[in-house]
Amino acid sequence: MTHSISYIGLGSNMGNRIDYLQKACEQMNQLPNVNIITCSSIYETAPYGPVKQADFLNMVAKIETSLSAVGLLHQLQQIELSLDRKREVHWGPRTIDLDILLYNQENIEMEDLIVPHPEMSKRLFVLVPLLDLNPNLTIPKIDRNVSELYNERKEDEGVRLWKRNNGEGEFGLFEN
């Protein structure tokens, strides 16, 4: 059985944000075909897009999976549903958002899944946590690494360290 490496973006800006991130990580790690390898620190970020809403907590998890990209997408959508994710307003507030940022070094274009995530190179709230995990990671399609993309956007504002991954507690982020 072949295993793929995927990077998952997590975000929450409703209710107990840290609790939603923790529950999403726990549920991902409990999937029989998914193992969280490591997580970035958690960042508080200004909302992206035109909708007025609360700040997000964002992070990225590096996972190993034997699921296909579509299979992974379906599992992540089930986790979102279990955590009361509602898709009422585009770019609106959410209890949890789980995005497949990268799946191996594949370029995937389907109706409900585009990988690499089409907006990731423009979003500091994705680049900063990815920088924690692998600054030299090359983003397929644009063939540039995370460090280069970050350096182009580092003057942008709105991303603040909220909790550093110190390797203690669950996933190095959540107290036991």
Indicate which CATH number applies to the domain containing 15.
Answer: 3.30.70.560
3-state secondary structure of 37: strand
Percent pLDDT > 90 in the chain is 68
Residue 63 lies in a domain: yes
Percent pLDDT > 70 in the chain is 95
Tally of domains within the chain: 1
Higher local confidence (pLDDT), 125 or 91: 125
- Copy the structure tokens of residue 107: 């370029």
Residue 71 lies in a domain: yes
Residue 169 lies in a domain: no
Question: What is the helix (H) or strand (E) element at residue 34, kind and residue range?
Answer: strand 34-39
**Structural domain boundaries, residue 85:** 4-163
Task: Summarize pLDDT for 27-36 with one digit per residue, the tens.
Answer: 999 998 999 9
Q: Are 124 and 158 in contact (CB under 8 A)?
A: yes
pLDDT band at 90 (very low <50, low <70, confident <90, very high): low
Residues designated catalytic: 85, 94, 97, 99
Over range 60-72, report the average pLDDT.
96
- Copy the structure tokens of residue 36: 């969280």
